[in-house]
Amino acid sequence: MKSPVVVDLKFDPATVRAALKNAFRDREVINMADEESRGRDLSGIDYAICWAPDLDLFARMPDLKVIFSGGAGVDKILAIPTLPKTIPIVRFVDPTLTNRMSEYVVLQCLTHLRQVARYAAMQKNRDWRELPQPEAADVTVGMMGLGVLGQDAARKLKVLGFNVIGWSRTPKAIEGMETFDAGSLDAFLGRTDILVGLLPLTAETTGIYDARLFSKLRKDGALGKPVFINAGRGKSQVTTDVVRAIREGVLGGASLDVFEEEPLPVDNEAWGVEEIILTPHAAAASDERALFRYIEQQMARFEAGEALQNLVDVGRGY
Ligand code: NDP
Ligand code: OXD
């Protein structure tokens, strides 16, 4: 008998239910979104699949053997006080997610390069004027975070001609890209025209994108002023500093997909800033069907005695 699987995904419930119809056919699925699952005894169950899980979920699963994250980031799982310390956590790593993120990053870099917001404003005024236009090769994108997502986005930006440099906690050797480690942050920032944030949320990365950091970005680049793009985690960014940096001319614009508080409160000043392109944590949503396929493969590995893939290092925080 294969262990049942508990699903606690705070995604769109109808989409999760539809994807579950064709998933885990050889084991019982306990979907916590279903009324009848709420009071159920969860002992004897090996697996939990979660995104923003109920705070008591892990306490209710005394026999849990593996936690599967519904996304690439695991900060919400790691923040649960009753998280069992020794249970492996597998995060979601899949081309369906990686490609979506790279689409977002490439789109935002091109949008700022090609001055889409300025032309849109000019269109409103029927203002026919050509703006001076640098090319991608004149612009350096600084990728903060050189993991699965950062490296893929960097590769695709390079195909378009952008000069791409990267920053990560540990040193990296990546062909065709200059890289900087944690100790060389200022040198990295001083070379960066478009800063892309693809960092996980940890104690070290909380509040990292602040006024001080923005003031260190390159000032004499081809775009005139540097630009900030964040698709990592909102708590890494001080949104009031982004708004102020734009108003004071330190930043020329920003693309923000994530915020300290989500949903972003309707009275947050960021909504009204023309130079900010704002999306609702939608850069790279998990495709539920792909997620369940991936987890089925991981369960098969686990049950065959093979190593799980994409394990989180809990001590490191990602
Ligand atoms: P990875 O774990 O593969 O990569 C993380 C990268 O960040 C690594 O290069 C790591 O350095 C670096 N890093 C971590 N801490 C630090 C630090 N203190 N200083 C410098 N570098 C650091 O993660 P992914 O690329 O898969 O995902 C990145 C994040 O993107 C996720 O954690 C999630 O928060 C976010 N995300 C957002 C989505 C959205 O829709 N907005 C969708 C999916 C993910 P090193 O290489 O040295 O370990
Ligand atoms: C993720 C996310 O971490 O969607 O996958 O934010």
How do residues 106-153 score in pLDDT, each as one tens digit?
999 999 999 999 999 999 999 999 999 999 999 999 999 999 999 999
Domain boundaries, the chain: 5-92+286-303, 95-278
CA distances from 33 to 59, 62, 146, 288 (A): 18, 20, 35, 15
Would you state the pLDDT for residue 221?
98
> What does pLDDT average to over the chain?
98
Is the CB of 286 within 6 Å of ligand 2? Answer: yes
List pLDDT tens digits, range 51-69.
Answer: 999 999 999 999 999 999 9
Q: How confident is the model at residue 38 (pLDDT cuts 50, 70, 90)?
A: confident
Q: How far is the CA of 4 from the centre of ligand 1 (A)?
A: 31
- What's the CATH superfamily of 95-278? NAD(P)-binding Rossmann-like Domain (3.40.50.720)
List pLDDT tens digits, range 66-118.
Answer: 999 999 999 999 999 999 989 999 999 999 999 999 999 999 999 999 999 99
User: Kind of pairing, strands 194-197 and 47-51?
Assistant: unpaired
Mutate to test the pocket of ligand 1, among 69, 74, 90, 198 (most ligand atoms within 8 A of CB): 198
Buried b / exposed e over 200-239, threshold 16 CB at 10 Å, is bbbeebeebbeeebbebbbeebbbebbbbbbbbbbbbbbb
User: Kind of pairing, strands 163-168 and 140-144?
Assistant: parallel
Q: How far is the CA of 147 from the centre of ligand 1 (A)?
A: 6
User: Rounded to two decimals, what is the model's pTM?
Assistant: 0.98
* Percent of the chain topping pLDDT 70: 100
Positions marked catalytic: 233, 281
Instruction: Show Cβ contacts of residue 150 under 8 Å, excluding neighbours closer than 6 positions.
Output: 143, 144, 166, 168, 196, 198
Q: Which of 65, 15, 68, 21 is nearest to 29 (CA)?
A: 21
List pLDDT tens digits, range 242-278.
Answer: 999 999 999 999 999 999 999 999 999 999 999 999 9
Q: Which ligand is nearest to the CA of 286?
A: 2
Number of Cβ within 10 Å of residue 172's Cβ equals 16
Among 3.30.360.10, 1.10.540.10, 3.40.50.720, 3.40.309.10, what is the CATH number of 5-92+286-303?
A: 3.40.50.720
